[in-house]
Amino acid sequence: MIARFPSIARLLKRRAKSEDGSIVVEGARKATGGKGRTRIVMTMAVFFGIYSTITGRLVYLGFQNPDLSGGPQSRVTASRPDIVDRNGEVLATDIKTASLFAEPRRIVDADEAIEKLATVLPEIDYEQTYHKLKSGAGFVWLQRQLTPKQQSDIMQLGVPGFGFRTEKRRFYPAGETSSYIVGLTNIDNQGISGMEKYIDEQGLSDLQASGLAVAKDLKPVQLSIDLRVQHIVRDEVATGMEKYRAIAAGAVVLNIKTGEVMAMASVPDFDPNNPYNAQDKDRLNRMSAGLYEMGSTLKSFTTAMALDSGKVTLESRFDASRPIRIGRQTIHDFHGKARVLSVPEVFIYSSNIGSAKEAEAVGIEGHREFLHRLGILEKMQTELPEVARPTEPKVWKQVHSITIAFGHGVSTTPLQTAVGCAALLNGGYLIQPTFLRRAQEQAMSVAKKVVSDKTVESMRYLYALNAEKGSGRNARVPGYRVGGKTGTAEKVVNGRYSKDKNFNAFVAAFPMDDPQYIVLTIADEPRPEKPGMGATAASNAGVMAANIIRRSASMLGVKPDFSHENGATLVSYQ
């Protein structure tokens, strides 16, 4: 029957082949293979896209500036060399300290964190700290240079997101004693004043920036000052300021053979370990950065100028019997003798009239040239950055020369005055001052001859004579043959010279047979020590100079010698 129906037979045959599976499997394989390849291609495309995105991001970031918010810069902990005195005593050194930072992204509750921190650091600025902790930055400083106790107490708070970084900070063992000389560093241990700033300017800041300021490679910087003498000078000027109720006082001890500053102090001063008041307007290094009319101390230069010109000798005489009238000004003597005076008398009586006539003998141009020659009116060249530029009239006229002859009309610094006086006594050589150790041979290689040997001999005599018979008597110290010159200048207040506000100075030298040191002291607006007493330089600045010499001479290597007492050094000139 099946044979009769060939179409049915063909259908059954086809079904049989399908049941056998050969035809079905082959078709499935073909379908499955096409779909698999599609999935693989799609997977590869996805991974390629992901890796391309990552690679592109890395390349982008590679060309961006680094994010410095994640931590402090390395210069914060850059090392500085120790600063030592001429005997090796440490004046400034690096110490390790901890600084507190926060990672704001890890701070859970900023208010709670600040409240806890305030229990240890009550001075912290709440609003500023709150903004820092809420900034979302990776790193912020909260407080630099903590004490060990503060660090320990903050650690006990257990605030997540707070951490510490070890830094270097500057420590000054001498404190206020040498603050104006040594100077200060800022929070990042960079010099901002005094010798600290000078050291940076000599290349230390470049080493720090390049990461080459390694502690073991930095040699100590040795200064010229003697810490023992520095302590005496600072103590005497601080005592003098209080004793004479002055608004300021200062002093410098200068080696006249080398130009080395052995000690220098100015008060009020500050503690470099806690310099909260260092920027106050009364905190000024008056010895190098203060400008003053130096009063009768400038008569040293007037007399030396007259003698060095060859137009005046010690035997010359000047009529000081009447005041000098020039224009609307009248020049008087403070304690006038109303007679003709010899040059030594002009000096020891500090005659304004006699000094004016000495200047007239030289002339205006010669007068100006001499003061510039001695550096009195030039900006001083030394390592200390805090140096003021002297002032003088733009055009010198006769009235200017006359008033400048006795110390009015030009302003200079006390340190420059000391340096100029040293040149009159050390053999006639102007030697710029230094705060670094310097041998005499080195000093002479940069020295400049400014006055003759004969002028030096005469000035030594006049300084010794003034201490014996003139206004310098209060500065005498038995055994040390001190000579000197006072200077009492009326201060300018509201454009006029004040009768009750003085700037006093005393310049002393010792030992006068072969001077080794200059001591210059100042007292700004001193008052009488007792009712009825005066407030002239002899009664305050001169006394301060004597005390400094008395206490420091042996430390400076000057031995007492009593063989020249009672005016023996003056015999050959009288």
Which residues does the annotation mark as catalytic?
A: 296
In order, the DSSP letters of 29-85 are: HHHHHHHHHHHHHHHHHHHHHHHHHHHHHHHHHHTSPP-GGGS--GGGG-----EE-
> Is residue 411 helix, strand or coil?
strand
The encoded tokens of residue 136 equal: 């979302």
251 beta partners: 265, 521
In angstroms, rounded to a whole number, what is the distance separating the alpha carbons of residues 335 and 332? 9
Contact 268, 285 (CB under 8 A): no
> Is residue 260 helix, strand or coil?
strand
Can you say whether the dihedral through the CA atoms of 549, 554, 557, 562 is positive or negative? positive
Find the length of the chain.
574
Task: Write the Ramachandran bin of 520: left for phi over 0, alpha for psi from -120 to 50, otherwise beta.
Answer: beta
Task: Write the Ramachandran bin of 483: left for phi over 0, alpha for psi from -120 to 50, otherwise beta.
Answer: beta
Contact 196, 57 (CB under 8 A): no
Which residues neighbour 11 within 8 Å (Cβ) at sequence distance 6 or greater? Answer: none
The encoded tokens of residue 457 equal: 């001999």
In angstroms, rounded to a whole number, what is the distance separating the alpha carbons of residues 70 and 141? 11
Task: For 102-137, give the secondary structure using H, E and C.
Answer: ECHHHCCCHHHHHHHHHCCCCCCCHHHHHHHHCCCC
Cis before 268 (ω within 30): yes
Q: Which residue has the tokens 């926060």?
A: 102
In angstroms, rounded to a whole number, what is the distance separating the alpha carbons of residues 326 and 563? 48
Find the Cα–Cα–Cα–Cα dihedral 29, 34, 40, 42, rounded to 10°. -150
Contact 170, 185 (CB under 8 A): yes
